[in-house]
């Protein structure tokens, strides 16, 4: 079972470059999320999508854009990467609801370094 698939797994960017992180789930879930995980900071929600066509800001949305392309796919875009965006990015999904009230299924992450 694939579950939540993230691509790429690793990426190095230069400051100012743009990039899109891809996420797809095969569990027919309605809700999808993007988090970042930094040492000493814990996971923080970047954006969340309760259904196709809807997105909401999380705790740290600045510098990011998202697209809920269809029910399966939720992408995260960095328009002009900054060193402060160096992090591990996780995509997650749940059957419905919000990230605070439903069990979530996580991908294995994208490790992004910005020089």
Partner 1 sequence: KQEVTQIPAALSVPEGENLVLNCSFTDSAIYNLQWFRQDPGKGLTSLLLIQSSQREQTSGRLNASLDKSSGRSTLYIAASQPGDSATYLCAGPHSGGSYIPTFGRGTSLIVHP
Would you tell me which residues interact with partner 1 (CB under 8 A)?
A: 4, 40-45, 48, 56, 58-59, 90, 92, 98-109
Tell me the closest approach of the beta carbon of residue 98 to partner 1, in angstroms: 3
Tell me the closest approach of the beta carbon of residue 16 to partner 1, in angstroms: 29
Q: Kindly tell me which of 17 and 111 has the beta carbon lying closer to partner 1.
A: 111
Tell me the closest approach of the beta carbon of residue 48 to partner 1, in angstroms: 7
Contact 72, 91 (CB under 8 A): no
Show the tokens assigned to 111: 């490790």
Show the tokens assigned to 12: 């190095």
- In order of 40, 74, 107, the CA distances from 52 in angstroms are 33, 9, 19
């Amino acid at each position: 079972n694939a579950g939540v698939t993230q691509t790429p797994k690793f990426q190095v960017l230069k400051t100012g470059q743009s990039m899109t992180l891809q996420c797809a789930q095969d569990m027919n879930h309605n809700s999808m999320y993007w988090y970042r995980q930094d040492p000493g900071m814990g996971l923080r929600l970047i954006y969340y999508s309760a259904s196709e066509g809807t997105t909401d800001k999380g705790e740290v949305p600045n510098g990011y854009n998202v697209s809920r392309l269809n029910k399966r796919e939720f992408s995260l875009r960095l328009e002009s990467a900054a060193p402060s965006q160096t992090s591990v990015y996780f995509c997650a999904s749940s059957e419905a609801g919000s990230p605070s009230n439903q069990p979530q299924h996580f991908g294995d992450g994208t490790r992004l370094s910005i020089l």
